[in-house]
């Protein structure tokens, strides 16, 4: 969600390499972005009913089979329902949730139950990593793993920052990680997203050349990947990841 849809679309297509196209939904200005023919994300103008002062931001979607049942289950587990389940005609159904510590995410299901093909791991342009700065790692892990069937993968000891727990589904490759949010991060608990690019230093130069900021990095992380943490020209935080420096 952004304050300047055209500028944000131009920025991310240049930086990440996505192809953009209007969604074609009547009465709704929504831009889809693609890697090849695979749809990977969307951009929209900040809703008029957004809370005052809400900054531009990325929001991730978790695919589920039954939105209404999942929303009821999450509510019982202590989540707040920000947006009750709603239909997107001809597409599917979605809801917006805040976990018990306030981190926001969305749920999504398609009309036919088919979430579509997935890009091979490491493909440029995909969302290569999903990261939760949790209010508390132990309770966050219990909440998400019981709700979505996520399973533990590698755990990384971050020293004074605590444990970083990676996770996947059914023993498959890890696609995210979570840790207790360090006290020196002023933002509330939140999810962050890493977009995969060809090489991290070249991508960092593209971020700066097109009006964004690189806040941290390049930094090597376990698995021999390289990351940078960034802000786009409208103020939305995002991250980039690559196997190449």
pLDDT digits (tens, 9 = 90+) for 159-189: 888 999 999 998 788 999 999 999 988 889 9
pLDDT band at 116 (very low <50, low <70, confident <90, very high): low
Asked if residue 163 belongs to a domain, the reply is no
Give the model's pLDDT for residue 212. Answer: 98
What is the overall mean pLDDT for the chain? Answer: 92
- Of residues 25 and 201, more confidence is placed in 201
- Of residues 110 and 90, more confidence is placed in 110
How far apart are alpha carbons 31 and 25 in whole angstroms? 10
Peptide bond into 218 cis (omega under 30): yes
Q: Which domain holds residue 238?
A: 1-129+194-244
Residue 235 has pLDDT above 90, yes or no: yes
pLDDT above 70 as % of the chain? 97
- Of residues 136 and 25, more confidence is placed in 136
Asked if residue 210 belongs to a domain, the reply is yes
Asked if residue 154 belongs to a domain, the reply is no
SS3 74: helix
- With b for 16 or more beta-carbon neighbours within 10 A and e for fewer, the 40-66 pattern comes to bbebebbeeeeeeeeebbbebbbebee
Give the model's pLDDT for residue 21. Answer: 94
203 closest CA partner among 168, 241, 234: 241
Asked if residue 134 belongs to a domain, the reply is no
Asked if residue 136 belongs to a domain, the reply is no
Asked if residue 170 belongs to a domain, the reply is no
How far apart are alpha carbons 129 and 117 in whole angstroms? 18
Asked if residue 161 belongs to a domain, the reply is no
Asked if residue 156 belongs to a domain, the reply is no
192 closest CA partner among 40, 18, 46, 59: 59
Q: Which CATH number do you get for residue 114?
A: 3.10.180.10
In terms of pTM, does the model score above 0.85?
yes
Give the model's pLDDT for residue 229. Answer: 97
Total structural domains within the chain: 1
């Amino acid at each position: 969600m952004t304050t300047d849809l055209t500028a944000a679309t131009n920025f991310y297509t240049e930086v990440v390499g996505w192809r953009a196209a209007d969604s074609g939904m009547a009465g709704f200005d929504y831009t889809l972005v693609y890697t090849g023919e695979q749809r990977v994300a969307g951009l929209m103008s900040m809703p008029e009913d957004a809370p005052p002062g809400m900054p531009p931001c990325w929001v991730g979607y978790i695919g589920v089979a039954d939105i209404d049942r999942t929303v009821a289950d999450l509510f019982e587990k202590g989540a707040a329902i920000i947006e009750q389940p709603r239909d997107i005609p001809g597409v599917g159904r979605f809801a917006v949730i805040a976990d018990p510590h306030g981190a926001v995410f969305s749920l999504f299901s398609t009309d036919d139950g088919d979430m579509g093909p997935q890009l091979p791991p490491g493909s440029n342009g995909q969302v290569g990593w999903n990261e939760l700065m949790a209010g508390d790692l132990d309770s966050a892990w219990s909440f998400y793993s019981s709700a979505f069937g996520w399973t533990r993968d590698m755990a990384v000891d971050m020293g004074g920052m605590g444990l970083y727990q990676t996770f996947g589904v059914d023993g498959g490759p890890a696609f995210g990680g979570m840790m207790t949010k360090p006290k020196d991060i002023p933002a509330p608990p939140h999810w962050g997203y890493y977009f995969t690019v060809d090489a991290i230093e070249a991508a960092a130069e593209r971020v700066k050349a097109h009006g964004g900021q690189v806040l941290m990095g390049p930094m090597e992380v376990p698995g021999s990947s390289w990351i940078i943490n960034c802000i786009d020209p409208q103020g939305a935080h995002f991250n980039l990841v690559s196997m190449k420096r």
